[in-house]
C-alpha cells in the first residue's frame, strides 16, 4: 500500500457539489487531481465552480497560491480507465448503493493493487460497499461535509476489514487537505448523520403537526440552541432527497420506529422539491 508521501495523484469520481469540492481541496493541498464523471457538461460545470471558489478564497486571503496554478493540477475525464495513474480514489456520486458497488467493482479490476478506495457516502455501509472489491482492507469511508472548501470536518468510517494502515493514510491525507477528522465505526448514519438527521426529521414532524410554521421552527432552533441555521433551512441546503434517503437507511438499518422518515419530508421529495438545488424545498430560492 502506498505511503502518504508516495500519494501524488488523487482521483475523485463524481463532479457534483461534493465531488468538485473534494477535487478543489485536494488540488489546494498540492495533489494532482483527476475528476471523473460520465457527463462532460457536469465536468465543465465543476471546473467552472472550482475556478470561482478559488478566486473568492484568494480575494479574501484564505489561500496564498494563485488560482490558475491550483486549477492546473486538475484534469477531467469521462473514463474510469483514465484513473489508472491515481494513488488514492475518492468516490463521491449520489447515494445509490448498487451504482457505487458497480463502480468499485470496475475500479478493482483497473487499479493497481496498492491503491486505496474511499467512499464519501453519508450513510451507506462501508463494509457492504467494500464487498464489491477484492481489497476490503484498503477500503474506507471518507465523509466530507458540505460545502467541502469551507467545512472543517472529515468523518472517517472504518469497515469491518479496514486495516490500521488504511485508516492512518486516510487520516493523514485528510489533515493535509486542512481537515480535522473524527472516526466512526460502520453503523447506519455514522456519527454526524446519526445525530443530525433525526433532528431534521423531527423538525418536519413539528411542521407537519402544525406545532409552528417553518420560520418559527428555524428561528427557535437557531436562536435557542445557537446553531448557524435552522434545521429546515439546513435540510434545504443538504437536499431533501438526501435527507430522506439517509432517514430510510437509518430506519432500515436500525429497525427502530423513531427513525421513520416523516411523511411530509417524503411528500416534498415526491413533488420534486429537493431544496436549494431545485429552487424549491421548504422555502423558495
Model confidence pLDDT, tens digit, residues 216-257: 999 999 999 999 999 999 999 999 999 999 999 999 999 999
Q: Per the annotation, does 106 bind a ligand?
A: no
165 catalytic residue (yes or no): no
Look up the CATH superfamily of 9-185. Answer: NAD(P)-binding Rossmann-like Domain (3.40.50.720)
Q: Kindly compute the dihedral angle of the four CA atoms of residues 39, 45, 49, 55, in this order, to the nearest 10 degrees.
A: 120
Q: Per the annotation, does 284 bind a ligand?
A: no
Q: Per the annotation, does 16 bind a ligand?
A: yes
Catalytic residue among 122, 123, 163, 174: 122
Q: Per the annotation, does 152 bind a ligand?
A: no
Model confidence pLDDT, tens digit, residues 23-44: 999 999 999 999 999 999 999 9
Closest among 253, 233, 255 to 243, alpha carbons compared: 233
Are the folds of 9-185 and 195-278 the same? no
Compute the distance between CA of residue 16 and CA of residue 92 in angstroms, rounded to an integer.
8
97 catalytic residue (yes or no): no
**Secondary-structure class of domain 195-278 per CATH:** mainly alpha
193 catalytic residue (yes or no): yes
Q: Per the annotation, does 224 bind a ligand?
A: no
143 catalytic residue (yes or no): yes
Catalytic residue among 155, 163, 201, 273: 155
Closest among 181, 185, 203 to 194, alpha carbons compared: 185
Catalytic residue among 91, 119, 143, 184: 143
Q: Per the annotation, does 266 bind a ligand?
A: no
Q: Per the annotation, does 100 bind a ligand?
A: yes
Contacts of 16 (CB under 8 A, 6+ apart): 37, 42, 46, 92, 93, 94
Q: Crossing angle for the helix pair 231-238 and 192-208, nearest 10 degrees?
A: 120
Q: Per the annotation, does 60 bind a ligand?
A: yes
Task: Give this prediction's pTM.
Answer: 0.92
Q: What is the pLDDT along the chain (285 residues), one digit of tens a residue?
A: 555 678 999 999 999 999 999 999 999 999 999 999 999 999 999 999 999 999 999 999 999 999 999 999 999 999 999 999 999 999 999 989 999 999 999 999 999 999 999 999 998 999 999 999 999 999 999 999 989 999 999 999 999 999 999 999 999 999 999 999 999 999 999 999 999 999 999 999 999 999 999 999 999 999 999 999 999 999 999 999 999 999 999 999 999 999 999 999 999 999 999 999 999 999 999
Closest among 197, 202, 194, 184 to 254, alpha carbons compared: 194
pLDDT of residue 5: 72
Q: Where do the structural domains in the chain lie, given as residue ranges?
A: 9-185, 195-278
Catalytic residue among 119, 120, 163, 193: 193
Which residue is associated with the grid cell 470536518?
A: 153
CA quadruple 168, 140, 9, 75: dihedral sign: negative
Amino acid at each position: 500500500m502506498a505511503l502518504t508521501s508516495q500519494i501524488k495523484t488523487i482521483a475523485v469520481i463524481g463532479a457534483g457539489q461534493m465531488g468538485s469540492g473534494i477535487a478543489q481541496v485536494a488540488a489546494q493541498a498540492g495533489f494532482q487531481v483527476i475528476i471523473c464523471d460520465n457527463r462532460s457538461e457536469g465536468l465543465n460545470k465543476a471546473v467552472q465552480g472550482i475556478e470561482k471558489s478559488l478566486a473568492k478564497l484568494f480575494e479574501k486571503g484564505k489561500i496564498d497560491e494563485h488560482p490558475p496554478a491550483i486549477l492546473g493540477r486538475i484534469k477531467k475525464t469521462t473514463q474510469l480507465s483514465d484513473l489508472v495513474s491515481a494513488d488514492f480514489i475518492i468516490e463521491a456520486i449520489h447515494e445509490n448503493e448498487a451504482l457505487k458497488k458497480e463502480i468499485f467493482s470496475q475500479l478493482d479490476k483497473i487499479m493497481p493493487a496498492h491503491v486505496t478506495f474511499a467512499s464519501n457516502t453519508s450513510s451507506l455501509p462501508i463494509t457492504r460497499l467494500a464487498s464489491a472489491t477484492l481489497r476490503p482492507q484498503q477500503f474506507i469511508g471518507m465523509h466530507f461535509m458540505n460545502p467541502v472548501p469551507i467545512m472543517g470536518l472529515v468523518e472517517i468510517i472504518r469497515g469491518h476489514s479496514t486495516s490500521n494502515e488504511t485508516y492512518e493514510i486516510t487520516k493523514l491525507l485528510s489533515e493535509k487537505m486542512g481537515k480535522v477528522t473524527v472516526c466512526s465505526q460502520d453503523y447506519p448514519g455514522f456519527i454526524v448523520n446519526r445525530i443530525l438527521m433525526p433532528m431534521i426529521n423531527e423538525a418536519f414532524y413539528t411542521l407537519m403537526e402544525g406545532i409552528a410554521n417553518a420560520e418559527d421552527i428555524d428561528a427557535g432552533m437557531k436562536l435557542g440552541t445557537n446553531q448557524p441555521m435552522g434545521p429546515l433551512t439546513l435540510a434545504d441546503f443538504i437536499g431533501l432527497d438526501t435527507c430522506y434517503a439517509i432517514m430510510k437507511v437509518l430506519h432500515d438499518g436500525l429497525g427502530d420506529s423513531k427513525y421513520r422518515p416523516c411523511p411530509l419530508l417524503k411528500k416534498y421529495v415526491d413533488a420534486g422539491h429537493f431544496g436549494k438545488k431545485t429552487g424549491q424545498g421548504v422555502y423558495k430560492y
